Chain A
Amino acid sequence: MDPSYLTGLLGGLMIGTAAAVLLLINGRIMGASGILGTVVDGSSKGADRREKLAFIAGLIGAPGLVALIFGANPTNLTPNIAVIIIAGLLVGIGTRIANGCTSGHGVCGISRLSLRGIVATMFYLLAGAITVVVFRHLLGVI
């Protein structure tokens, strides 16, 4: 078996355990877009805002520290600046309109058999697959 399947499974278990800790101890759903989105648009205030900022600090700081000490696999992000900006805007606007992304709708939603989470995941997976077909295989942009 490809060793990346094992590291994928291990990383997935870590992601799910993090979400379980946040749910069982703090009673919160671990959704990356909602946590960042409500902090930057100002709708999260007070203690809720401090909790979310602490989460973001851990999310950026822990892997960042590991990367500084041990190095990290490259992100292999496209060098095309226009693609980066358009993709970033689409991800930011789309996840806030849909009220969730891969962690909130995907991990937390599917695991409680939420219809909204399952439908959202089908839509973004399908849109992503079609986008790759068009921009990689037809247009050759990515």
Chain B
Amino acid sequence: MLISAAAGALFGLGLMVSGMTDTARVIGWLDIFGAWDPTLAFVLGGAILPMAGAWAMTRRLAQPALGEAFPPKPGVEIDRNLAAGSVLFGMGWGLAGLCPGPAMASLVWGGTGGLLFLLAMTAGMVATPPLRRLVALN
């Protein structure tokens, strides 16, 4: 639990320092036909570097230090859910400039708008399993 809390804390501070909690910067990154802001390429590149090293280490280690096993190999199936879900997510991300991590990280200083976004996002997450069952029935 301590490791999880520490990882969450470092993740949140990283989001804050990187500018991911500034929706103007995020929308500027997506605004490739306007005043494009390349900052997020540095954020993503910076985040991928240590993580690529970590994945390489998992191939040499038998198991995580405190956990039981490393995550299984990722699937290769590109299905409708992956594509359609990512399109819906991208639309919401473009509209407001917040994705799930920064929406949580900025809760304390994000004002009522930030709280409203987090509540709507959470409601969407709660509604998804029953929505999927409904669609699968028809």
Most buried by B among A8, A40, A67, A130: A8
Which residues from chain A contact B78 at a C-beta distance below 8 Å? Answer: 115-116, 119
Say yes or no: B27 contacts A123, CB within 8 Å.
no
| B80 → A minimal CB distance (Å) | 9
Say yes or no: B19 contacts A8, CB within 8 Å.
yes
Q: How far is the CA of A6 from the CA of B17 in the complex (A)?
A: 10
Closest to B118 in A: A88
Which B residues have a C-beta under 8 Å from some C-beta of A?
1-25, 27, 30-34, 38-40, 42-55, 57-58, 61, 63-71, 74-78, 81-101, 103-111, 113-114, 116-129, 131-132
Say yes or no: B90 contacts A94, CB within 8 Å.
yes
Q: How far is the CA of A97 from the CA of B79 in the complex (A)?
A: 11
Nearest 8 Cβ contacts at the A-B interface: A92-B124, A11-B18, A12-B46, A88-B120, A127-B90, A98-B85, A58-B8, A90-B92
Q: A58-B12, A78-B23 are in contact. Are A131 and B71 (CB under 8 A)?
A: no
Say yes or no: A55 contacts B25, CB within 8 Å.
no
Which residues from chain B contact A79 at a C-beta distance below 8 Å? Answer: 113
Say yes or no: A137 contacts B34, CB within 8 Å.
yes
| B19 → A minimal CB distance (Å) | 6
Say yes or no: A116 contacts B22, CB within 8 Å.
no
Q: A21-B6, A23-B70, A62-B13 are in contact. Are A9 and B46 (CB under 8 A)?
A: yes
Say yes or no: B12 contacts A137, CB within 8 Å.
no
Considering only residues 103-129 of chain A, those with a C-beta below 8 Å from chain B are 103, 105-112, 114-117, 119-121, 123-129
Q: How far is the CA of A88 from the CA of B58 in the complex (A)?
A: 35
Which residues from chain B contact A85 at a C-beta distance below 8 Å? Answer: 116-117, 120
